[in-house]
Structure 1
Amino acid sequence: MAPPSRRSPRRQPRPLSHRAVLGCWTEHAACGPWHRPRGLEPGDWQPDQLGARTELAIEVCAACPVRGQCLRHAMTTGEPVGIWGGLHPEQRRHVT
């Protein structure tokens, strides 16, 4: 009699995480949940309109160690909304 097969059942593919989509640079982003200043929420980087909290979020971006990678991501993927690399969509339209 043959020994039982030791093959494991086929695994289902895992869904892509934000890290797989955006890259590991997001772990160092100043807007990430582990670095974000108190009082700012993720929505402050995805505003419907610019306001005082969004301006503060943009200031956080100015000192972010991965600001360049963030802006490059937005420019490469054509992010239509949100603050990326310290720039809102209107500002990004004028970057060449």
Structure 2
Amino acid sequence: MKKVLVAVLFMASSAQASTVLSGEEMHELTKTICSEHSEPDLCIKGFNKVMGYVKANDDYHYFCENSKKTFMTVDDEQCKKSEELRDFIDKNAN
């Protein structure tokens, strides 16, 4: 689990440095992270699930930011949670 967190933080850090990973690079990174896990396939599945959640959060954050600019009504509590997660990732990625 520690390796998964390190990988998420690495990728968040990479994204901030304008480094974009290809699908193949992400696949190789995931395999490397999970290689020492007792169940590598389960590790990969969990890692991909976490990445999906991070992506969904980022999409929602983008929606919140754009909606506020156009004065659309948003769920302030969900937008706040999305911002908090982004802040958490930013803080721990450096």
Question: For the superposition of Structure 1 and Structure 2, which TM-score range results when normalised by the shorter chain?
Answer: under 0.3
Structure with the larger RCO, 1 or 2 (CA within 8 Å, 6+ apart): 2
Which structure has greater helix proportion?
Answer: 2
